[in-house]
C-alpha cells in the first residue's frame, strides 16, 4: 500500500517523537481516535480541517494544511499545491515576478486607468495576472519554508 501524505508526515515526525511510531500512541498527541487516524492514513476517510491542523502542528508539517486545502477541500481545489523548496529557488521566482511587475508599471497603469480591459490590453492584463499568481505562489512558498524551518 502506498503511503499517503499524512502517514508519511507521522512517520517522519516519529524520528524525533517516538510516540508517533504507531497510531495507538499517536492518537494521544494528535487527539484523533486511532481508528479514525488509521482511516485517514489509509485514504479511507478525508480528515476534517481540525484533524489536519492538529497533525500539522504535532508532526511539525505545515505542508499538510496546504495539501488538504488544495487537494481535499473543494474551496481551494483551484490553488496549486505547495512543495517544499530550497530558499534559493523561491527567491529567484519571487525576484523574477517582482522585476517583471516593476518593469510593467506603465502597462499596469494603462490597463487599469479607465477601469476597463480593452481588447488591445487583454494580453498585457493576462501577463499581469499570471505574474501576480507566481508572486502569490512564491509568497506562500516562502511562508511554508519559514514555518518548516521554525522562523514563524
Q: What are the tens digits of pLDDT across the range 94-129?
A: 999 999 999 988 888 888 888 888 888 889 899 999
What pTM, to 2 d.p., does this model score? 0.72
Q: Is residue 39 part of a domain?
A: yes
15 grid coordinates: 524520528
Q: What are the tens digits of pLDDT across the range 44-70?
A: 999 999 999 999 999 999 999 999 999
109 shares a domain with 67: no
In whole numbers, what is the pLDDT of the chain averaged over residues? 92
10 shares a domain with 64: yes
13 shares a domain with 58: yes
Q: Is residue 80 part of a domain?
A: no
Q: Is residue 77 part of a domain?
A: no
Instruction: Please state, in angstroms and rounded to a whole number, the distance separating the CA atoms of residues 136 and 146.
Output: 15
Residue with cell 480591459: 117
Q: Is residue 81 part of a domain?
A: no
Q: Which pLDDT does position 79 carry in this prediction?
A: 83
114 shares a domain with 58: no
Residue 22: pLDDT band by 50, 70, 90 thresholds? very high
pLDDT tops 80 at residue 134: yes
Q: How many domains does the chain have?
A: 2
101 shares a domain with 49: no
Give percent above pLDDT 70 in the chain. Answer: 99
**Range of 59's domain?**
5-71
Amino acid at each position: 500500500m502506498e503511503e499517503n501524505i499524512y502517514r508519511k508526515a507521522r512517520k517522519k515526525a516519529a524520528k524525533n517523537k517516538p510516540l508517533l511510531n504507531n497510531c495507538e500512541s499517536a492518537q494521544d498527541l494528535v487527539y484523533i481516535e486511532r481508528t479514525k487516524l488509521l482511516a485517514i492514513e489509509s485514504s479511507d476517510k478525508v480528515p476534517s480541517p481540525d484533524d489536519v491542523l492538529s497533525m500539522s502542528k504535532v508532526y511539525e508539517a505545515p505542508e499538510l494544511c496546504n495539501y488538504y486545502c488544495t487537494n481535499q477541500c473543494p474551496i481551494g481545489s483551484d490553488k496549486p499545491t505547495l512543495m517544499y523548496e530550497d530558499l534559493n529557488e523561491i527567491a529567484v521566482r519571487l525576484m523574477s515576478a517582482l522585476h517583471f511587475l516593476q518593469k510593467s508599471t506603465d502597462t499596469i497603469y494603462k490597463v487599469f486607468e479607465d477601469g476597463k480591459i480593452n481588447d488591445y490590453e487583454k494580453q498585457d492584463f493576462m501577463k499581469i495576472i499570471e505574474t501576480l499568481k507566481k508572486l502569490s505562489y512564491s509568497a506562500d512558498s516562502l511562508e511554508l519554508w519559514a514555518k518548516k524551518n521554525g522562523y514563524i
